Chains A and B, each alone.
Chain A
Amino acid sequence: MNATYKYFRDIYLGVTTVSLGMWITFRHFFMPTITVQYPREKLIYPPRARTELRNAIESCNGCLQCARACPVEIIHIETAKAQDEDNAGNMPDGKPRKLLVLTFDVEMSKCVHCGLCVEVCPTESMHWNNEHEHVTFTREELMRHWATYPPEEVRRLQERDEILKAEKAKQAAEAAAKKAAAGDQPAPKPVSKPAADGAEKPAQPSAAAATPAIEKPAKPESGDGTDSPQKENGKEKA
């Protein structure tokens, strides 16, 4: 009896639920479609949409924050210090430009569109361009070069920067040597032993090649108190 009841109940349920399903799909025949015929109709993107990354290079100050924030490390920036001869002009906020952005390359094919670089940008030069059709035929086209310097110019400026850096390091090393020499005479304390180490190296004849790396350990010692006025003196003399 129970089996018979179940048999007919199953048939009844089968017929009714199938009819209900067909009624629902039939109603959808006459509902408006939601298709957007893409190339001809386009959706409007909300203002926050993370579409395609752009950098307004004229307002980029080369601070490297975006390169540091990027989780996939696709932003490659090279900068050089701006000199008077460059006529680097001003930043959009009116302050003089301090760094020349020589290269600003983004491997767009690896971009995950997380937006972290845009958020950290202090000058708002990184932005989304509200376009999404960045399809290209080759992978090379997806390597975006936003800096405007030609390669030879980039090389020249980098070399100039190297030379300037080296000069600066030389000056710093000389200053450190002077400072060390000045510091040694009054009080040969056991504390100043590292300072003495630092003094030995710049004293060598190849002091011009001294890199900032050597200069760095000398810095903390300037906190000694006794050293600091002498360091200032050394700088003034230089």
Chain B
Amino acid sequence: MSETKEIHIPLGPSPEKWDLLSKGIDPFGDQMILQMGPQHPATHGVLRLELKTDGEVVTKITPYIGYLHRCFEKVAESVTYPQVIPYTERMDYLAGMNMALSYVLAVEKLREIEVNDRVETLRVLVCELNRIASHCVAIGTFALDIGAWTPLLYLFQVREHILDLLEELSGARMLFNYIRIGGLAHDIPTGWIDKVREFCTYMDPKIPELNGLLSYNKIYIERLAHVGVMSQDVALQYGITGPNLRATGFDYDMRRDAPYSGYEKYDFQPQIGAGEQGTPGDCWDRYIVRVREMEESLKIIRQACDRMPEGDVKETIPKSLRKMPEGEVYVTTEAPRGELGIYLVSDGTDKPYRVKARSGAYCSVAAVPAISLGGLIADLVAIVASIDIVLGEVDR
């Protein structure tokens, strides 16, 4: 990497730049401005990265977001409490259950509703199923960005099973609207738990297969090890949470350390990155943490199936949400892409006064420049894929 001269170039056509160009002086020097996105195959939606490149070496990165902004927070102020739930699921559309759970827990905390054990267990079950489905897409698209097409299709088969299960339960495949304030929309259909168990046995050999095909493939390891190393300091400074934080070796999982919805009753081990193939916190660690997290989620699903208590899932659903207590609450849950915090202010009416969502993916995007400077364009693609962003959650 050659030494870069720092020339400040304002965005858009600047008169000084054109002056220089007309005199035959290249204001960029040896460097080139490259717009990666919003329409680019590897930006996972509509992220725009403005790169300054020296050959293939990236010397400056500026992420631009907002191409998928849908005013979730503002819309939530103008609809009633139950009507917000469909909007929450459109934030991270790959993990709708986890998104809805965070909001619902916030409203329940505000309204002081205690849900029964069956509701909690079912919520954990569907959230973990959804987490596996979400990680399947994350890992699959990661592999796709590295150039391996086939793992994506294999993982989509697994996801298809989960979506079938969730469709049978809730009626929809991605935007479930299943978790409700004070309970759930439906009880489980007959035989559904057995189907979940069947899925667990189906899923068991899939992860070793994935490891053989992809995780320990030499080319894959070479592409990812030592690339995009995120130190614990950087991760904490940028507020990184979820698998990306655990990949740096920081052992922190909301489900274990601040349990909600009865997660303390389950036996599982949060996975942390140890730098097996390279440096702790590199792309491969972020990858393998997700793979192992799928196995942990399977454990939780099995336990939830076994302990499924009896009860009425609609028992505590409030008759009317017209009158809410005034006040404010903040609830965070462990979504697949990091902590999802919902800050809710109520002024006593049937509509929230303010809803603020704090999403893990947003923080992850902010950290991209910090961890990928000086790499190649191919590394940048790997890093953007490895932090696993869903632009719906970033922009909200």
Contacts and interface: CB of A to CB of B under 8 A. Distances in A.
Interface in B140-176: 150, 154, 157, 160, 167-172, 175
A25 B213 contact: yes
Interface stretch (A16-24, A54-62, A147-155, A192-200): A16-24
B185 A25 contact: no
Nearest to B214: A21
Interface residues of A, number: 27
B175 A113 contact: yes
Interface of B: 79, 82-87, 150, 154, 157, 160, 167-172, 175, 177, 185-186, 189, 209, 212-214, 216-219
A46 B212 contact: no
A172 to B, nearest CB: 27
Contacts of A10: 218
Contact of A113 (B83, B172, B212): B172
A48 B170 contact: yes
B192 to A, nearest CB: 10
Given A69-B82, A69-B83, A113-B175, 13 more contacts: A20-B212, A20-B217, A21-B213, A46-B171, A47-B189, A48-B168, A70-B83, A71-B83, A71-B84, A114-B177, A115-B185, A116-B86, A116-B177
A174 to B, nearest CB: 34
B212 A21 contact: yes
A18 B175 contact: no
A112 B175 contact: yes
Contact of B216 (A17, A34, A70, A113): A17
9 contacts: A21-B212, A24-B209, A34-B157, A48-B186, A49-B171, A69-B83, A71-B79, A71-B87, A116-B82
B218 A14 contact: yes
Given A34-B157, A114-B86, A116-B177, A46 B167 contact: yes
A48 B83 CA distance: 20
B202 to A, nearest CB: 12
Interface in A63-106: 69-71
A64 to B, nearest CB: 15
Contacts of A34: 157, 160
A31 to B, nearest CB: 10
Contacts of A3: none
Contacts of B175: 112-114
A194 B82 CA distance: 38
Contact of A14 (B154, B171, B177, B219): B219
A112 B75 CA distance: 15
Contacts of A113: 172, 175
A235 interface: no
A18 B222 CA distance: 13
A119 interface: yes
Contacts of A191: none
B150 A25 contact: yes
Contacts of A238: none
B139 to A, nearest CB: 15
A234 B69 CA distance: 59
